[in-house]
Structure 1
Amino acid sequence: MEHLLDKPGLRADEASYRLLVESIADYAIYMLDTRGRVASWNRGAERIKGYAASEILGQHFSCFYSPEARAAGVPEAALAMAAREGRFESEGWLIRKGGAAIWAHGIIDPIRSETGELIGFASMTRDLTERRESADALERSEKEFRLLVESVTDYAIYRLDAAGRVATWNAGAQRIKGYGPEEIIGQSFARFYTPEDQAAGEPERTLSIARRDGRFEKEGWRVRKDGSRFLASVVVDPIRDPSGTIIGFAKVTRDVTERHAAQKALEEAREALFQSQKIEAIGQLTGGIAHDFNNLLMAILGSLDLLRKRLPDDPNILRLVDNATRGALRGSALTQRMLTFARRRQLETRAVEIPELVGGMAELLAHSIGPSIVIEHRFPARLPPVATDENQLESALINLVVNARDAMPDGGTVTITAREARLREGEHAALQAGSYVVLAIEDTGVGIAAETLARVQEPFFTTKGPGKGTGLGLPMVRALAEQSGGTLDIRSTVGRGTCVEIWLPVAVSQVKATVSAPDEAAAMRRLHVLAVDDDPLVLMNTEEMLRELGHKVEAVSSPATALERLRRGGFDLVVTDQAMPGMTGLQLADAMASEGITVPVVLATGYSDVDVGAERKVVALAKPFRECNLADAIAAALSGA
């Protein structure tokens, strides 16, 4: 084939250009004759196309095109356009030797003689496959990222322009904020802020901090399209161009309302658990202290009773003894409160008519609060009875009325009302579904501050001065309500008074238990009694009371010793303490029964929640007891023998 450089019209010094062209390795530079056959081939063409010069010179350049492109006449069209337009330029897939495809940028220029005659074509091709793959990868990444962002529904992810106007909007933003893209793009992001935050300049401050610090992060209240508010976690980052100029902001918002509510609920549950554990621990401590106090008071009261009988009839001496007895009885009342709070005192539950109970206490309540305070009663015509301990409810009512009096130093009104309430499941956090009567005691006093109201039901917490309050009044009322199956609610407003509500379940049955009268004649017999108590003070006191009642007494300080003595026989009655080391009083009674010892038992205990059981010949006697209480218990025990 005749070489183009040997044709007339080409300059001889083009040999130097040929050397230059053939040295280029990054571009395929070659010439075609007028029919499209390869006439020259540089090193870059060999590297990019894969053909050696000996393989390709004289071959038609259409071999660089795919079969589809050749069938469509693309090579011929490229030459025709180059000849007609003076240039042909394109990007597309070309074929290397061996069939591999490359993405190439190609230029074909016509070569003309000095007279303008077309004598061939100059073709320059650059392999852009790697760049194309990078561009494709970038495009795929951008599409995937866009798809990812647009598909996220738990986060509002959107872009703001430099002025704070919304530029993009994802599905999460639409779900969380309520706006469609057509409604919000181009609008200021300030509309997501509450009116008070807008007035305070919070949107501008947000962007200012993001510009200054490179990031803004905060939780705060935001507003949806429908006006509802939600707690949002917001992050704002500035977007910069290559020169560092801020051209917008990336904003991510998450609705954390539920998380915040769940966290708050968890904290409240933890606090409730802590309070429950604290109260339980205090209850256990209180119960133990009350038990020990009962033993001490038992010794004091019993000794005072015995002492009073044996003292000369001197009014001055008897007045001192009576004063000491009244003090001990007040201590006994306090221990009963402590035991009630500690759940160690069993309620004597019965059907109680609240209007009758309050009416019967009217005079007592009036004397308790003085003339400057008016008590009003308001009850519906029909009110079902409640299931609770009548005596404990009376005590609770007196306690609450006295508290109301103390809250009204200048006088006022105490209103006692009751209403029936029917609760559905889950309607009250502390109560099961069912029917209740709500006994309310409302005053017009000074009220209770919120921080104090949160603590008034804590045991031993009191706002009264030293010696004026034990801090067990409201805990005792709450214990009564909860042991009855109800609860205690307190509402108060400073300067407007306090309302205390005792919720008590409606009594299912109004049948009252009957107790057989003790056989007094049996109690008059002279008995041989075994007294058992590990506390020497109480044991001595019990022994003296029994002797005062005319009985023969043998005293022992341990259940094991008592059981050993009982095996020998000769006793008519056992008076034993319940809480003793090694063996309780009930366990002693069971051991007696298992060995066939049928002697009746009087069980003295500071805890009236001890279940003696109908199958045992045991009568419970609450500590602290006096001589008359002991006599009644002995009569009851002998009646059941």
Structure 2
Amino acid sequence: MKVWLIPTAIAVCLQLWLNLYVLAHPPVRPIRAALHAMLFAALLFTVGDLLASFVSTNGTERWAGLILLYTGLIFISPTWWLLALRYCEAQQLGLDFTRKNWVYIPFLLAGLLWIGLVTNPLHDQFITPRLTGASEFHWMFWWNAVQSYALLMGVAGLYGTLILRQRRGATRKQLIILLSATLATAIASAMYVFFPDEIPFDPTSIGVCISSILFIYGIRGSRLFSLSPVDLTTVIHSHPAGVLVIDSTGQLLYANQAADTLLASKRLPVEDDPFLSLSRILSLPESRDQAIEPRQLQKELLKVDQPAHGHLFRFGDDREGWLKIESVPLPGRRQTIRAWSLLLADQTASKNAADAIQASEIAILRSRNLESLGVMAGGIAHDFNNLLQGILGNTDLALEEVAAQSTLREHLLDIEEASLRAGKLVAQLLLFTGAAITEKRDLDFAETIAQIAEFAASSIPDRVTFEISQPTDLPMIRVDPDQIEQAVVNLIVNASEAIGDETGTIRLAVSAEQVTSENVDSLNLVSPIPSGLYMKIEITDDGEGMSKEVRARIFEPFYSTRFPGRGLGLSALLGIVRTHSGGLSVQTQATEGTCASVYLPALEDAAQQPALSAPPIPATSDLRVLVVDDEHAVRSVCTRALRLAGADVVEAETGEAAVDYATEHDFDVAIVDLTMPGIGGLETARQLRSLHPDLRIILSSGHRDTDIQAKIDSDLICEFLHKPYRPSELLGLLNQLLDTKLDLNPGPV
């Protein structure tokens, strides 16, 4: 067996695989016919070469092999030429030979050569084959050789030029594979033709073998003949954004499918006037009611100086949303504008997302502001309430010394009233920040709401109907009753004011509602609440309602639509709800009334708490009181009031001083400020109780403390007195605590 037949046999196998693979996996349409023809010509050449090499005589079998060999050799270069041109068309590389008939001239010449090949035994003008040594080639063979090498070099030159110009990585890689395959076949064939004496066998089959391997690598690894760019017109026509091309006079040149759909929403043909179509569906950003004139729209869009972000419009028809229009000038000759490209993009989703992000940022900023305001309000409340304590206490003491008929008494009463109002204002500020002092108790919610509703009904005008609906088997709830009363009454008063001078109805409904992660979003709460059982207080009115702008600001402090109001009612309500770990929802529309819902956590397993009892009253005739406060004015007022009532009083400025006094002396009652420098009020109370287990303790503060009872140990039985308070309130608490009859005017001793 001849050694050089091995690459020929391998080439036959590779060509068979390529032909079958391409039949099973057709390439893109422009390449399909040319690729099949080229591969079939290469298969004929390799099969003919193998057949002619096996036959040892110049008989019919050897001549049939030569016919197949040279048929493939004649047609392989024209088909390769056609494949190169069709590949350029498929890849849109700037060459279009679809309507060029001259590309088929090589096939005509190849056909004439093939006729000469078939008739060669009659004239011997193509080849004279010999069994030994090189065959003798004639002018037809050399004609075919020149034509074949010219076509192959043309193909190689075309591929090389495109490689230098190509920027797409995938296409560049494919061109390199095709160039290498072309050169491998051409060089192998030229070596035998031009150097027949030096080479004992025809190496063209080796070149075909190398080309076949490159083709297989390209087809399997680089999607050769199956990867083609998408037509640009198809991309634009299928784009989800609308695309319009308009000339400088406003005439429509092109509209893709999305633009047709968008502009045809009013059943107006886009070909008539695109700007008229746009003006029918759009409005100015400020309001949906502000229409746009078509010519003004054309003037704005067809300007050279365009904003970088484009033009943003509202949909003015029955759709809610936003449309962005970007216009790009298409240059013509001599620096003129040939036409304009308008990109119409629906910005509704992105605009809503941006608005949601902005609203979230505003909510975070507002929360931080509330937190800062809470810290500031707590500090102000402590200092301000101490000042009010001095004013109110001294006023109360002065009233005890002034005759009832004295004109000075009226001035003192005005001072007292102003002090009380100032104290309430500070309390409302603390409620708004969620930092108010609370004294929560376990209550029967049905009974509590019934009492509050009865009280609130008295403040509603007769022209307004008040309806209440609540079941009797409601669970217990742990709340500060005073704050809950303030919240409910505030909502009822607001509902009454919303009805105004008209007749209307206010409905109060109470129910138990289970809040879960699935339904919490549907409640439209101001802030989310955890899952659990909640008591829902719903107050509905058929008053004037609120606009979106007013609704967005109702919880801002000092914002009010009522002239007499201070704008702290709903702010304080929100603070009360947050203090009780609850939720709040306000649903309203202008002229359609308002529905406010308060959610308070219920006690699902409420255990009966044992009542706290005071230690036994000491058997003593003289009341000994320890007053502990870092404010001199507060200590002075308490001391003078208690001494007027006949008590023995010792003052202490700090907790440490109070503990030192209690170590050496016995006391019946200790009045301790909750917020003091040093060890603090609670720690002072614990140390005093450890020294004197029977000591009554009254804690007092004007500072923020969201839950006093939660901070007091279960064995530390204390009363609490809010600042500012009057001396008479202090004595009243002592009388209740000790079963005494202390009075600021005890009479003769």
Alignment TM class, shorter chain as reference: 0.5 to 0.7
Distance in 2 of aligned mates of 1:549 and 1:253: 85
User: In structure 2, what is the equivalent of residue 581 of structure 1?
Assistant: 677
Q: Specify whether residues 382 and 521 from structure 1 end up closer, same or farther in structure 2 by C-alpha distance, changes over 3 A only.
A: closer
Q: What's 1:213 paired with?
A: 304
The 10-residue stretch of structure 1 (287-296 or 275-284) with the greater mean CA deviation from structure 2: 287-296
Separation of aligned partners in 2, 1:542 and 1:306: 10
Q: Which residue of 1 aligns with 2:219?
A: none
Per-residue deviation, residues 222-243 of structure 1 (Å, max 9, x unmatched): 89xxx98875544444556668
Q: 1:295 to 1:149 in 2, by over 3 A?
A: farther
Q: Within 2, Cα distance between the matches of 1:254 and 1:104?
A: 45
| Structure 1 segment 282-321 matched on structure 2, within 5 A | 282-312=373-403, 314=405
Contact 2:492–2:506, Cα closer than 8 Å, also in 1: no
Q: What is the aligned counterpart of 1:103 among 154, 164, 184?
A: 154
The equivalent of 2:429 in structure 1 is: 338
Residue-by-residue CA offset, 1:393-444 (whole Å, 9 max, x unaligned): 2222333333344445535335132153444423334343444444334445
Verify the 8 A CA contact 2:452 2:488 in the aligned structure 1: no
Q: Give the whole-Å Cα distance in 1 for the aligned partners of 2:558 and 2:337.
A: 63
Taking a change above 3 Å as real, the CA distance of residues 200 and 511 of structure 1, as seen in their structure-2 partners, is same
Gaps of 5+ in 1: 1-64, 106-126
CA 1:592–1:406 in structure 2 vs 1: closer, same or farther (change >3 Å)? Answer: same
Q: Residue 554 of structure 2 aligns to which amino acid in structure 1?
A: V
1:502 to 587, 598, 616: 598
1:91–1:103 Cα contact (<8 Å) kept:
no
Task: Tell me, in whole angstroms, the C-alpha distance in 2 between the residues paired with 1:72 and 1:460.
Answer: 91
Shift of 1:539: 0.5
Which deviates more, 551-560 or 191-200? 191-200
- 1:51 match: none
**Cα distance, 1:537 vs structure 2:** 1.1
Instruction: Check 1:620–1:165 CA distance in 2 against 1; reply closer, same or farther (3 A cut).
Output: same
Matched-pair identity in %: 23
Residue in structure 2 matched with residue 94 of structure 1 by the alignment: 149
Post-superposition offset of 1:268: 0.4
Contact persistence 2:330–2:337 (CA under 8 A) = yes
- What displacement does 1:295 show? 1.9
CA contact (8 A) 2:586 2:594 kept: yes
| 2:73 corresponds to | 68
Query: In the alignment, is the contact (CA less than 8 A) between 1:239 and 1:248 conserved in 2?
Result: yes
**Aligned counterparts, 1:149-548, within 5 A:** 156=241, 164=252, 196-197=281-282, 213=304, 217-220=310-313, 231=322, 233-239=324-330, 256-312=347-403, 314=405, 324-342=415-433, 343-354=435-446, 356-357=447-448, 359-361=450-452, 364-371=455-462, 373-381=463-471, 384-385=474-475, 387=477, 388-408=479-499, 410-420=501-511, 421-425=513-517, 426-428=521-523, 429=525, 430-432=527-529, 433-465=531-563, 468-495=564-591, 497-509=593-605, 513=609, 515-518=611-614, 521-522=617-618, 525-548=621-644
Cα shift at 1:353: 3.1
Worse-matched range after superposition: 344-353 or 529-538:
344-353
Structure 1 counterpart of 2:281, one-letter code: E
Deviation at 1:272, TM superposition (A): 0.5
Q: Does 1:624 align with 2:724?
A: yes
Q: Relative to structure 1, is the Cα distance of residues 146 and 437 closer, same or farther in structure 2, using a 3 angstrom cutoff?
A: same
How far did residue 273 of structure 1 move?
A: 1.1
What SS does structure 2 have at the residue aligned with 1:345? coil
* Alignment partners' CA distance in 1, 2:417 and 2:405: 18
The more displaced of 450-459 and 490-499 is 490-499
CA distance in structure 1 between the partners assigned to 2:637 and 2:144 by the alignment: 122
Paired with 2:719 and 2:620, the residues of 1 have a C-alpha distance of 17
Q: Does the Cα contact within 8 Å between 1:484 and 1:504 map onto a contact in 2?
A: yes
**Structure 1: distance between partners of 2:507 and 2:76:** 104
Residues 445 and 229 of structure 1, relative CA distance in 2, 3 Å threshold: closer
Deviation at 1:475, TM superposition (A): 1.4
The Cα shift of 1:568 comes to: 3.7
Report if the CA contact (8 A) 1:444-1:496 is conserved. Answer: yes
1:222-271 Cα deviation digits (max 9, x unpaired) = 89xxx988755444445566688877765656554443232111100111
State whether residues 193 and 203 of structure 1, in contact with CA within 8 Å, keep that contact through their aligned partners in structure 2: yes
TM normalised by structure 2 equals 0.57
Distance 1:71 1:477 in 2: 91
RMSD, aligned α-carbons: 5.4
Cα distance change of structure 1 residues 326 and 155 upon mapping to structure 2, 3 Å threshold: same
Deviates more, 1:551-560 or 1:505-514: 505-514
**Corresponding position: 1:602 with 2:687:** no
**Amino acid corresponding to residue 417 of structure 1 in structure 2:** L
Counterpart-to-counterpart distance in 2, 1:578 and 1:626 = 18
CA contact (8 A) 1:485 1:505 kept: yes
SS in 2 for 1:602: strand
Q: Report the Cα distance in structure 2 between the residues aligned to 1:532 and 1:157, rounded to whole angstroms.
A: 78
- Check conservation: 2:672, 2:685, Cα contact below 8 A: no
TM-aligned CA distance change 1:564 to 1:149, over 3 Å: farther
Judged with a 3 Å threshold, the aligned counterparts in structure 2 of structure 1 residues 190 and 367 are, in CA distance, closer, same or farther, namely: same
DSSP 3-state at the match of 1:576 = strand
Contact 2:313/2:323, CA 8 A, preserved across alignment: yes
> Who is 2:93 aligned against?
none
Say which SS state the counterpart of residue 410 (structure 1) adopts: coil
Q: Report the secondary structure of 1:555's partner residue.
A: strand
Q: Report the CA distance shift for 1:295/1:211 in structure 2 as closer, same or farther (over 3 A).
A: closer
In proportion to residue count, which structure has more strand?
1
8 Å Cα contact 1:533-1:558 kept in structure 2: yes
Structure with the largest fraction of helix: 2
CA contact (8 A) 1:486 1:505 kept: yes
Count the aligned residue pairs. 530
Distance 1:455 1:309, change over 3 A: same
| Conservation of the 8 A alpha-carbon contact between 1:602 and 1:634 | no
Question: Which secondary structure state, in structure 1, belongs to the residue aligned with residue 522 of structure 2?
Answer: coil
Native 8 Å contact 2:390 2:637 kept in 1: yes
Alignment partners' CA distance in 2, 1:383 and 1:191: 66
Distance between the aligned counterparts of 2:735 and 2:148, measured in 1? 116
